[in-house]
Structure formats: C-alpha cells, structure tokens
Amino acid sequence: MSGYIKTDLTGQVAVVTGGGGVLGSYFCTALAEAGAKVAVLGRTLANCEEVAEGIRHDGGEAVALSCDVTDKSSVEAARTEIGRALGTCDILVNGAGGNSPKASTDDEYLDLERLEDPEAKDFFALDTDGIDFVFKLNFLGTLIPSQIFGRDMAPKSHAAVINVSSMNAFTPLTKIPAYSGAKSAVSNFTQWLSVYMSKTGVRVNAMAPGFLATKQNRDLLFDKDGNLTERSHKIISATPMGRFGEPEELLGTLLYLADHEASGFVNGIVIPVDGGFSAYSGV
C-alpha cells in the first residue's frame, strides 16, 4: 500500500463542459496533465479550440467541440464525435454554468420607498426569461450531459461525474436568487444521482468553489485602483482565510474526485473549496 497517491488518468476520456471558460480551461489542462484524453466542450468553439491546442502543444490528446448543454441533440452530437475521436467517457466534469443580469436584483434589501419606482430592479421586477435561462444553464446543463454521457459510463467498473456547485448552494447570496437556487439544485441532484448510480461503477460528487479572483470577475471584485469593492469587503470579512481563492486551488479536489484510487469510496458529497466561508458564522 502506497502512502502517496499520484493521480494517473492515463487512457481515460474526460469530458469537460464549459471547457473553454475560465475555470473549465484549468480543469481541462489538469486532467490532461494527469494523462486523460480531454474533450473540451463549450458554446464558443474558438475558446475551446484554444484550450485543446494548448493541451496538444504540451503532448496531450484533446478535441474541441461546440456544444449547448441545454440542448439534448447538441450533447448527443458531441457524444458521437467524442466517441469517434477519443472513445467513450470515463470522467464527466459538468463545468458549464453562470448567471444573468436579468435574473439579478440591484438591491440587497427591499426598499419600500422605491416599491412603485418603475426604474427599480428589485425582486418583483426580475425577468422570468432570465431566471429560466439561469436554471436551464446550471441545472439542465448538468442533468442533460449526465444523461447522455452517463449511459456510456454506467457499464464501466470505474467512472466519475464531477459537478460544479457553489457557495450559493449552502447560503444564498443577496441579489442573485436564480443562481443560488440553481446551484442548490445542482447539489441536490449530485446526491440524487450518486444514489441512483450507486450499484454501478459510477461515483457522483461535486465541488463548491468559494470566491475566486479570475480574469472574468476581477472588475467586480476590485475597483480601477485595485482596491476591494464594497461587496468584496463583505466577502473577505466572511472568509476566515481572509483572501480570494485562485482557480488552481480547485484542481487538487478535481483530481481527487476523478481518481478512483484516491476517492473510490467517496460518493454523493459536495466539497467546499472556500477558505472557510461555509464554516464561519460571522462571530
């Protein structure tokens, strides 16, 4: 028995939805460095191809495919292409997700004085199409790939589904009710699917990232002078480690959940990677 497990995914096929995005690109690269053949899926093919080309440049094997995770026929088509190019899926990372301004309020608390203000973007003014978009992208965008690729994974002796939840699933943040609700659904679905697949070789788990500083959200976290915004001060004060996370700090958890040798008896959990945010009561 080895006292140290090095993740070796050689020969396995990893499918990453949202693979052309900020976090997804890190996931793809880490899986490739562990030896997996990686299918990079996303809506913007150019972004996915850039990630796949980087993997190939470093000696790995990868394909890029345009895919809408909310459209079953699109995911089916991707599955067919991946099967031809790489083989059937062993590791599915459901990384596609996001929010919409149409599903977010401008206020943290209802201001009764603005209740009749037509310009107020409060809870009562939220756009139902925006809410529908957020739920489809995050929840259906996790469920549908799990259906399509899970069919190939089920007969295998070892396979892993890794979903991406959020701190919002533990405690909803102000302003973003749809995103919080959708990520809660992802966490609940992770548990449900883990039980449903438990008599097969498929394990289903999730990561719940805390607040990360990425190129995508840096303008929301810092002002033009590099100082924390008012909302960022609240985040940091509620994070015991006193800082934002970096995307690289998710990768150890990702590889742990992907590797049967490391986590073969781990099933149905949601792991916070959050600097202690979910553990802190504020006092």
Active site annotation includes 179: yes
Identify the active-site residue in 4, 26, 109, 179: 179
Element (H, E) at 271: strand 270-273
243-249 long-range contacts, CB within 8 A, separation 24+: 243/275, 244/211, 244/212, 244/213, 244/275, 245/209, 245/210, 245/211, 245/212, 245/213, 245/273, 245/274, 245/275, 246/212, 246/213, 247/22, 247/23, 247/26, 247/212, 247/214, 248/26, 249/212, 249/273
Helix crossing, 177-196 with 128-135: angle to 10°? 30
CA 165 to chain centre: 6
CA 47 to chain centre: 17
Cα–Cα distance measured from residue 69 to residue 203, given in angstroms and rounded to the nearest whole number: 21
Task: Return the residue matching tokens 């401008």.
Answer: 106
Cα–Cα distance measured from residue 139 to residue 165, given in angstroms and rounded to the nearest whole number: 10
Task: Return the residue matching tokens 């799990």.
Answer: 146
Which residues are the active-site residues?
A: 179
